[in-house]
Amino acid sequence: MSKQALLTQAIQNYQFDDMQAALDELSVEDKTLLIGVLGEFSSGKSSLINAMLGQATLLAFEKPTTAAIVEIAPQNNITSNATFIRQPDGQLTAISPNEFDEFVLKGEKNLVGVLNVPSSKILVEGYRIVDTPGIVSLEDTHEDITFGYLPFLDGAIVCQDINKGGLTQSLKDFLSKPDVRPFL
């Protein structure tokens, strides 16, 4: 009997319902890897994700666009995109694509946009790509939102505008912060 099965049996025998809910949540979380896409504003983060999706799903402009954390969640059992807002308690609320775009442009610190997409050869269920607001943005809250989400990431892709040459000093400074390094 696996450790998880043993723990589940003990939880059921002693009626620890709260622990069962926590165990169920851990079981799901452990199977999903969160890969953040980080970089300065307008460095191509959303454009890279759109290329991975094979469609222009996320807004991408030459000015700061993404103001919210957006998780792109590939699903095996769907055939079209679905858009949601995740509340701090984990509850998902379905919203229209237009409402989703508005949320992404405005952002809210404690809410996360969730875009469920059909799985593909590049994006498969079990991985989530996370679009983040730009660091060193014209909006101070953008970096705060990104920095606050780093502990949830399992890995990161760092985007750099090719026209700027190597890593900019501001990106080097961000990546050198003591709280950032363990997550890269």
For 49, how many CA atoms within 13 A lie in the half-sphere containing its CB?
28
Report d(CA 35, CA 71) in Å as an integer.
9
Per residue in 3-18, pLDDT tens?
667 777 777 887 777 7
> Same structural domain for residues 99 and 73?
yes
> Same structural domain for residues 13 and 65?
no
pLDDT at 25: 64
Report d(CA 27, CA 73) in Å as an integer.
17
> Domain containing 65: what range?
32-183
Per residue in 65-77, pLDDT tens?
788 999 999 999 9
pLDDT at 113: 95
Per-residue pLDDT band at 184 (split at 50, 70, 90): very low
Task: List the CATH number of the domain containing 106.
Answer: 3.40.50.300
> Same structural domain for residues 27 and 112?
no
Q: What is the DSSP code (8-state) at residue 135?
A: B
Per residue in 24-57, pLDDT tens?
666 555 578 999 999 888 888 888 998 988 888 8
Higher local confidence (pLDDT), 62 or 164: 164
pLDDT at 24: 66
pLDDT at 64: 56
> Same structural domain for residues 16 and 94?
no
Report d(CA 166, CA 170) in Å as an integer.
12
Q: How many domains does the chain have?
A: 2
pLDDT at 150: 85
> Same structural domain for residues 95 and 151?
yes
Per residue in 95-128, pLDDT tens?
999 999 999 988 887 899 999 999 998 889 999 9
> Same structural domain for residues 75 and 2?
no
Share of the chain above pLDDT 90, in %: 30
Average pLDDT score over residue span 61-90:
88
For residue 175, pLDDT over 60 is answered with yes
Higher local confidence (pLDDT), 2 or 154: 154
pLDDT at 62: 60
> Same structural domain for residues 48 and 62?
yes
- Give the Å distances, CA to CA, from 75 to 29, 57, 81, 117, 123: 15, 16, 9, 6, 9
> Same structural domain for residues 20 and 65?
no
> Same structural domain for residues 26 and 44?
no
Q: What is the pTM of this model?
A: 0.76
> Same structural domain for residues 84 and 102?
yes
